Homo-oligomer: A and B are copies of this chain.
């Protein structure tokens, strides 16, 4: 079962205007850089993007925002992007901000065939507007629905042609959840290895969730907040 495609350009075939796409990553950590660059090149427009963050002005999803390719963002935190804030306050960009844990669980639910679940997060806040409230054990919860996407794009450290993925460190974050929730899921990996090289016991994302995989050309892996201690 070989899901390998040649490059990012082949991987994003079929992503069309006005589609919904999910993109893994937390801040700039673990984002599918190669596919984002290719989406900019392809000029696809009117996208609804589900991603925890919206990149920074000149990297990550910020690149798609600059080209006005995004119609709507579904995110939890977008604080590092001036262009985002400008488009949002001017009304050019629709924005649905949702609690981070609910975002994670809604993607997981989407991939797992669970259409809705109750969570305490957001009760009594704007997030609860229009949502059912129900008490469990005396505590209020709101009903949240599953999220799915036409395409999910994830970034992993290692992958094999079956689509099995291993992530490195906190670059894991939303990637395994979104990998499950795409009708078609694309994985870009730093290293594409031979079948059998990944230990089945330590695969993070089983290949069944992945439809296309390729080794990215180049990973810049930009750091947002380089924080160090001085050597003593």
- Tell me which of B119, B168, B201 contacts A114 (CB under 8 A): B119
CB <8 Å contact, B119 and A118: no
- Tell me which of B105, B119, B145, B202 contacts A202 (CB under 8 A): B202
Contact with B along A115-153 (1 / 0, CB 8 A): 111111000000000000010110101000100000000
- Top 6 closest A-B pairs, CB basis? A115-B136, A117-B117, A202-B202, A116-B118, A114-B117, A115-B118
A89 to B208, CA, bound (A): 41
What are 12 pairs between A and B in contact, CB < 8 Å? A113-B120, A114-B118, A114-B119, A115-B137, A115-B141, A116-B117, A116-B134, A116-B136, A117-B117, A117-B118, A168-B201, A202-B202
Query: Which residues of chain A (160-203) have a CB below 8 Å from chain B?
Result: 166-169, 201-202
Closest Cβ–Cβ distance, residue A165 to chain B (whole Å): 13
